């Protein structure tokens, strides 16, 4: 008998990987499932981006392996983008590393910095991949809890009570998914100072900063942050390019070189026309974000109406692609409500428990569906009752 590796025994298949099979089995042409659970943008990238991809793909000299560090045009575009929107100065030669999607970076960074038995701090609720990757590298996980009564803000005083001298890495996600909260600059600066004192690495996962948000923040803009922090970002959410798998990480020269030791053994570079199209995306004017966010604002109004119909409550100032909502007091299980909506109304939302124990009692609705789908979902719920 051939046994699997011990490292995967504590890792489950990603929730959406399994649940979407169930959703597809219920789908039908006459009564389709309305998927309001997944954060996969349904809109197209800018036409200039698509043209850059197709035009460059027709050139005869772009199909070879590419540099592991990405082409200079793309790294320069990332540096310019961060200077313009985040007030961060980056050296395009050695402080930026393009990735085949930022999710790849979560694994690469963890492999580069975390040994078996090291302790990683993971937000609860938070993106499930942080804990999954920690388990894959056989690290120890400690959760730092985010609480509704604290408006889901990062609690620095609670962090100080932990044994931080044994922490190797802390995962940060601001704006935060699933709660939609962006941490204050003051809080982030205290976190940077704490990391410097106790010598742990902060990794800020920052893909939602441009969605329904005008206060663009990067942890790398803070005093001393480059000594202890890496930031991830991507074009998946901000530029409707989720399936293109274009992301990057940023940090000081030593951090980037460490990640390169892993990455250069895992892939052979990104298709050059993709990198050139990504460069075009990063050079778009501000009206791209203004138009995109107007669409999401309209959708959010419809999503909020659905949540009100379900008896849920929520903060109207959330950022990002989702609305995070609390179940009514008489409803104890997010999983129960999700299945009721799926099987009785063919509407799929995300249950809060998949984001950690602090997520039980909450649900998440995605804005990645058109207005017609939201209105159809609302029509189906006219006779809804708990």
In CATH, what number is assigned to the domain containing residue 35?
A: 3.90.1150.10
Q: What is the pLDDT of residue 268?
A: 87
User: Are residue 103 and residue 249 in the same domain, yes or no?
Assistant: yes
**Structure tokens of 182?**
């962006």
Q: Give φ, ψ of 299 to 5 degrees.
A: -65, -35
Q: pLDDT exceeding 70 applies to what percent of the chain? A: 98
pLDDT at 28: 82
Closest CA to 76 of 217, 276, 322, 297: 276
Pair (117, 215) in one structural domain: yes
Q: Is 49 exposed, middle or buried (0-12, 13-18, 19+ CB in 10 A)?
A: buried
Q: Assign residue 226 a region: left if phi > 0, alpha if psi is -120 to 50, beta otherwise?
A: alpha
Q: Which of 228, 253, 282 is the last residue of a domain?
A: 282
pLDDT digits (tens, 9 = 90+) for 160-180: 999 898 999 999 999 999 999
Report the pLDDT value the prediction gives residue 54, as an integer from 0 to 100.
97
Q: Are residues 28 and 94 in the same domain?
A: no
H, E, C per residue of 262-305: HHCCCCCCCCHHHHHHHHHHHCCCCHHHHHHHHHHHHHHHHHHH
Overall pTM surpassing 0.95 (yes/no): no
The pLDDT-based confidence of 14 (bands split at 50, 70, 90) is low
- Tell me the three state secondary structure of residue 59: coil
| pLDDT per residue as tens digits for the range 305-330 | 999 999 999 999 999 999 999 999 88
Per-residue pLDDT, 330: 85
Domain co-membership, 214 together with 342: no
Output the average pLDDT for the chain.
Answer: 93
> Structural domain of residue 337, as residue ranges?
6-44+287-380
Phi, psi of 366 (to 5 degrees): -90, 150
Per-residue pLDDT of 96-127, as tens digits, reads 999 998 889 999 999 999 999 999 999 999 99
User: Distance between CA 346 and CA 342 in Å, rounded?
Assistant: 4
Other Cβ atoms less than 10 A from the Cβ of 115: the count is 10
Same domain for 159 and 256, yes or no, is yes
Residues 66 and 32 in one domain: no
CA Rg value for the chain: 21
Query: 42 or 22, which is more confident?
Result: 42
| Lowest-pLDDT range of 123-137, 219-233, 285-299, 322-336 | 322-336
Residue 370 CA to residue 375 CA, distance in Å, equals: 9
How sure is the predictor about 16, in pLDDT bands with cuts at 50, 70 and 90?
Answer: low
Query: What 8-state DSSP symbol labels residue 3?
Result: P
pLDDT above 70: residue 128: yes
Q: Has residue 331 got a pLDDT over 90?
A: no
Residue 129 lies in a domain: yes
- Residue that is last in its domain, among 282, 301, 322: 282
Q: Where does the pLDDT of residue 3 fall: very low under 50, low under 70, confident under 90, or very high at 90 and above?
A: confident
Whether 374 is in a domain gets the answer yes
Question: Would 341 be classed as within a structural domain?
Answer: yes
CATH of the domain at 225: 3.40.640.10
Is 54 inside any structural domain? Answer: no
In a domain, 307, yes or no: yes
pLDDT higher than threshold 70 for residue 158: yes
Kindly state whether residues 276 and 150 are assigned to the same domain: yes
- pLDDT at residue 26, rounded to an integer: 75
One domain for residues 301 and 266:
no
CA-to-CA distance for 17 and 101, rounded, in angstroms?
18
**Residues 200, 294: one domain?**
no
Structurally, how many domains does the chain consist of? 2
Of 234, 256, 282, at which residue does a domain stop?
Answer: 282
When mean pLDDT is compared across 63-72, 201-210, 299-308, the lowest value belongs to 63-72
Q: Which tokens hold the place of 163?
A: 């044994």
> 118 with 261, same domain?
yes
Rounded to the nearest 10 degrees, what angle do helices 371-380 and 287-309 cross at?
0
Q: Residues 105, 128: contact at Cβ < 8 Å?
A: no
Asked if residue 273 and residue 302 are part of one domain, the reply reads: no
50 part of a folded domain: no
Distance, in Å, from the CA atom of 380 to the CA atom of 374, rounded to the nearest integer, reads 10
Neighbours of 153 (CB within 10 A): 16
Taking 90 as the threshold, does the pLDDT of residue 36 lie above it? yes
Residue with tokens 């250069």: 264
Q: Which two tokens stand for residue 17?
A: 């990987």
Domain annotation covers residue 352: yes
Query: Is there a single domain that holds both residue 255 and residue 129?
Result: yes
- Is residue 105, in this structure, part of any structural domain at all? yes
Instruction: Write out the H or E segment, with its range, that includes residue 344.
Output: helix 334-345
């Amino acid at each position: 008998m051939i046994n699997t590796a011990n490292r995967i025994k504590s890792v489950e298949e990603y929730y959406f990987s399994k649940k979407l099979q169930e959703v597809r089995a219920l789908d039908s042409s006459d009564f389709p499932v309305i998927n309001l659970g997944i954060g996969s943008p349904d809109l197209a990238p800018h036409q200039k981006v698509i043209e850059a991809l197709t035009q460059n793909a027709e050139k005869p000299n772009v199909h070879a392996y590419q540099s592991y560090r990405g082409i200079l045009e793309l790294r320069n575009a990332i540096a310019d983008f961060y200077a313009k929107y985040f007030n961060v100065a980056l050296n395009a030669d050695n402080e930026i590393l393009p990735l085949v999607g930022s999710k790849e970076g979560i694994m690469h960074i963890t492999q580069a910095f975390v040994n078996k038995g090291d302790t990683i701090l993971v937000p609860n609720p938070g993106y499930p991949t942080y804990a999954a990757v920690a388990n894959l590298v056989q690290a120890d996980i400690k959760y730092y809890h985010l609480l509704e009564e604290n408006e889901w803000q990062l609690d620095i005083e609670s962090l100080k009570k932990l044994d931080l001298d044994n922490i190797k890495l802390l995962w940060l996600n601001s704006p935060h998914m699933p709660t939609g909260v962006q941490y204050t600059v003051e809080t982030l600066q205290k976190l940077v100072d704490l990391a410097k004192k106790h010598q742990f690495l902060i990794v800020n996962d920052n893909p939602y900063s441009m969605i329904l948000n005008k206060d663009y923040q990067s942890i790398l803009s803070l005093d001393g942050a480059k000594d202890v922090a890496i930031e991830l970002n991507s074009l998946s959410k901000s530029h409707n390019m989720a399936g293109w798998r274009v992301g990057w990480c940023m940090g000081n020269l030593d951090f980037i070189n460490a990640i390169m030791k892993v990455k250069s053994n895992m892939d052979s570079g990104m298709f050059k026309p993709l990198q050139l199209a990504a460069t075009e995306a990063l050079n778009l004017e501000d009206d791209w974000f203004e138009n995109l966010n107007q669409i999401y604002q309209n959708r959010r109004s419809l999503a909020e109406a659905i949540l009100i119909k379900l008896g849920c409550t929520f903060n109207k100032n959330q950022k990002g692609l989702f609305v995070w909502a609390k179940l009514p007091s008489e409803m104890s299980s997010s999983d129960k409500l999700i299945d009721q909506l799926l099987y009785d109304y063919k509407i799929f939302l995300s249950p809060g428990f998949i984001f950690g124990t602090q997520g039980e009692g909450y649900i998440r609705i995605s804005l990645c569906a058109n207005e017609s789908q939201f209105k159809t979902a609302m029509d189906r719920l006219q006779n809804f009752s708990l």
